[in-house]
A and B are shown apart, each in its own frame.
Chain A
Amino acid sequence: MSRSATVVGAVKPKLDRPREKGTAVVNWLVRWFPLAILAITWEAAPRLGLVNPASLPPLSVVVAALGRLAMGGDLLANGLKSLFRLVCGLGLAILAGVPLGLTMAWFRPVRAVFGPLVRCLYPMPKSALIPVLLLWLGLGDLSKITLIFLGCLLPVLISTTNGVRGVEPAMIWSARSLGRSRLAALFGVALPAAMPDVLAGIRSALAMSFVLLVSSEYLMSRDGLGYLISFLGDGGAYDGMFAAVLVVSILGFAADRAFNAVSRRALAWRET
């Protein structure tokens, strides 16, 4: 039929119109301009004597220290250690939090039992557990992974529960009347419908995981990037300490951007 072209009120699909090159360059400059200002200020302030170079070494000195740390292998060894803990802790939190969140959203008795527990534990600052976990689990990987797991579990769980509970009943009912069981509707409809919330929860858990990783390594560890910061700082190697801080910041930023890109791809249906 030729009706399709005349259907009333069709929303035009977004067109990929080739953007003019000049505009793209300007946009890029505008986006990175604040960072450039920050870098220049960082370099200039200690050199001009506006701040004490001992407390804030110029950016170029920090970058040189970063080069030395990288060449010496310290950065890679400690960085991999930290990444391993982060991936384990966050990964386990997602693997446990999403199914638990789904179960709590779907089954009222489960919600009745775990709801109060979750509400009590959520506001508790997980960093307070650092000494407890040190006592119980020691200085190794397990104490950090456990801490990150505990800190990330609730954000993932709560956002999953809220997401699933916020799914329009009519959507579930449609699936049921189209021949799906309750369980099939949960996994096939409620979970994908709640995916924007689930991913938002994982994103905040990702930020939380960096906080807990670095603070726990700083306070109770013999390796990892947090330990590197503490070790270099205690030894007075402030250029190296700043370099390690810079690395952690860049890793956190890159992880967030990467996760955001993956989320947007998974939620492409929301972009109109």
Chain B
Amino acid sequence: MTSSALISFDRVGHSYRSNAGVLVPALADVSLDIAQGEFVALLGPSGCGKSTLLYLLGGFVPIRDGEIRVAGKPVTGPGRDRGVVFQSFALFPWKTVRQNVRYGLERMSLPRAEQEARTARLIDMVHLNGFEDHFPLQLSGGMRQRVAIARTLAVDPAILLMDEPFGALDAQTREIMHEELLAIMARRPMTTVFVTHDVREAVYLADRVAVMSARPGHIKEVVTIDLPGRTEPGVQKTAAFGAYVERLWGLVKNEAVQAAAGR
């Protein structure tokens, strides 16, 4: 465990009690260091515990086995340093777009004018100008996820946790959101942990991909993605991109087949 890591998973395990009362191991012995500014994807089939790992890091689920450190301090609960974006958006549906984005700023002892200015800047960043007074249910899925991203980035977290954030969107919207996420990251780099089961998404977005396998979930292999000119159009058609996809798919495939068969 190098001390320079911003996030350290140190032999993290997790079990849950099934309906029958049996302890089911969901994660076992997960160790991983993530450096400042790095974009790491957790890739694996459903049920491999990748979301659970993210929730442990978020401080939403108590850590009973092993330790997770952020900037050297053990995680004991949620905090503003770790912003989170969920697949289901998790917006506050009774609040407008503006109120959702401003929510995190309300408790930061900022002057009102500064709150408003920041809120407007973030709404502009995710291209939702003109929709400030809409309620989330009046928006499309892609727009809802933009609101969620703006709401999370408003409090300026050092770490961004994303739990299959684009999994509920249609294919075209997902492509657009990928490009926008990279554009946001280029303007405002953040250490990011990104949970996905989509191999192409992982290769396109991440600096490193941690491939997980199930029963109990653990990290099988960590693949560094070295794609020069990632933000250029057409990178997904290059041979290097294809090679990464093929290699990761090879690693994930067995797991996915087992997960699909062994319910």
A residues lining the B interface (CB < 8 Å)? 1, 3-5, 7-11, 13, 168-171, 173-180, 189, 192-193, 195, 267, 269-270, 272
User: Taking the nearest CB of chain B, how far is it from the CB of A272, in angstroms?
Assistant: 5
Contact A170 B90 (CB under 8 A): yes
Across the A-B interface, the 3 shortest Cβ-Cβ residue pairs: A178-B104, A4-B130, A9-B140
Neighbour of B138 across the interface among A1, A7, A11, CB < 8 A: A11
B155 at the interface (CB under 8 A from A): yes
Contact A9 B173 (CB under 8 A): yes
Residues of the A chain whose Cβ atoms lie less than 8 Å from the Cβ of B58: 173, 177
Residues of the A chain whose Cβ atoms lie less than 8 Å from the Cβ of B124: 1
> A9 to B131, alpha carbons, bound, how many Å?
13
Selecting from B31-39, B80-88, B246-254, the interface stretch reads B80-88
Contact A13 B138 (CB under 8 A): yes
Residues of the A chain whose Cβ atoms lie less than 8 Å from the Cβ of B104: 178-179
Residues of the B chain whose Cβ atoms lie less than 8 Å from the Cβ of A176: 59-60, 77-78
User: Taking the nearest CB of chain B, how far is it from the CB of A9, in angstroms?
Assistant: 4
Binary per-residue interface labels of chain B (109-153) against chain A in the complex, 1 for a CB within 8 Å, 0 otherwise = 000000000000000100111110011111111110000100110
User: Taking the nearest CB of chain B, how far is it from the CB of A53, in angstroms?
Assistant: 54
Binary per-residue interface labels of chain B (181-213) against chain A in the complex, 1 for a CB within 8 Å, 0 otherwise = 000000000000000000000000000000000
Neighbour of A9 across the interface among B127, B138, B143, B155, CB < 8 A: B143
> A178 to B95, alpha carbons, bound, how many Å?
15
B residues lining the A interface (CB < 8 Å)? 55, 58-60, 77-80, 82-84, 86, 88, 90-95, 103-104, 107-108, 124, 127-131, 134-143, 148, 151-152, 155, 157, 163, 172-173, 176
The closest CB in chain A to the CB of B135 belongs to A269
Question: Contacts A4-B131, A168-B90 known; A10 to B140 CB distance under 8 Å?
Answer: yes
Question: Contacts A11-B138, A179-B107 known; A4 to B128 CB distance under 8 Å?
Answer: yes
Question: Contacts A8-B142, A13-B138, A173-B84 known; A179 to B155 CB distance under 8 Å?
Answer: yes
Question: Contacts A173-B60, A173-B78, A177-B79 known; A10 to B88 CB distance under 8 Å?
Answer: no
Contact B140 A193 (CB under 8 A): no
Residues of the B chain whose Cβ atoms lie less than 8 Å from the Cβ of A193: 92-94
The closest CB in chain A to the CB of B131 belongs to A4
> A1 to B121, alpha carbons, bound, how many Å?
11
User: Taking the nearest CB of chain A, how far is it from the CB of B89, in angstroms?
Assistant: 8
Contact A269 B86 (CB under 8 A): no
Neighbour of B84 across the interface among A1, A10, A177, CB < 8 A: A177
Contact B143 A272 (CB under 8 A): no
Contact B128 A179 (CB under 8 A): no
Contact A10 B131 (CB under 8 A): yes
Question: Contacts A9-B173, A270-B93 known; A177 to B78 CB distance under 8 Å?
Answer: yes
> A270 to B137, alpha carbons, bound, how many Å?
7
Contact B172 A4 (CB under 8 A): no
> A1 to B60, alpha carbons, bound, how many Å?
37
Neighbour of B92 across the interface among A10, A13, A177, A189, CB < 8 A: A189
Residues of the A chain whose Cβ atoms lie less than 8 Å from the Cβ of B138: 11, 13, 272
> A179 to B79, alpha carbons, bound, how many Å?
6
Contact A269 B94 (CB under 8 A): yes
User: Taking the nearest CB of chain B, how far is it from the CB of A202, in angstroms?
Assistant: 17
Contact A11 B140 (CB under 8 A): yes
Residues of the A chain whose Cβ atoms lie less than 8 Å from the Cβ of B92: 171, 189, 192-193
> A179 to B108, alpha carbons, bound, how many Å?
8
Residues of the B chain whose Cβ atoms lie less than 8 Å from the Cβ of A170: 86, 88, 90, 163
> A236 to B152, alpha carbons, bound, how many Å?
71
> A242 to B194, alpha carbons, bound, how many Å?
69
Residues of the B chain whose Cβ atoms lie less than 8 Å from the Cβ of A9: 140-143, 173
Contact B155 A178 (CB under 8 A): yes
Question: Contacts A179-B107, A270-B93 known; A4 to B173 CB distance under 8 Å?
Answer: no
> A270 to B104, alpha carbons, bound, how many Å?
23
Contact B129 A1 (CB under 8 A): yes
Given contacts A173-B86, A177-B79, 20 further A-B contacts (CB under 8 A): A4-B128, A7-B127, A7-B143, A8-B142, A11-B138, A168-B90, A170-B163, A173-B55, A173-B60, A173-B90, A174-B90, A176-B77, A177-B59, A177-B83, A178-B83, A179-B107, A192-B92, A193-B92, A193-B94, A269-B136
> A270 to B90, alpha carbons, bound, how many Å?
15
User: Taking the nearest CB of chain B, how far is it from the CB of A184, in angstroms?
Assistant: 8
User: Taking the nearest CB of chain B, how far is it from the CB of A120, in angstroms?
Assistant: 24
Residues of the A chain whose Cβ atoms lie less than 8 Å from the Cβ of B108: 179
> A180 to B77, alpha carbons, bound, how many Å?
11
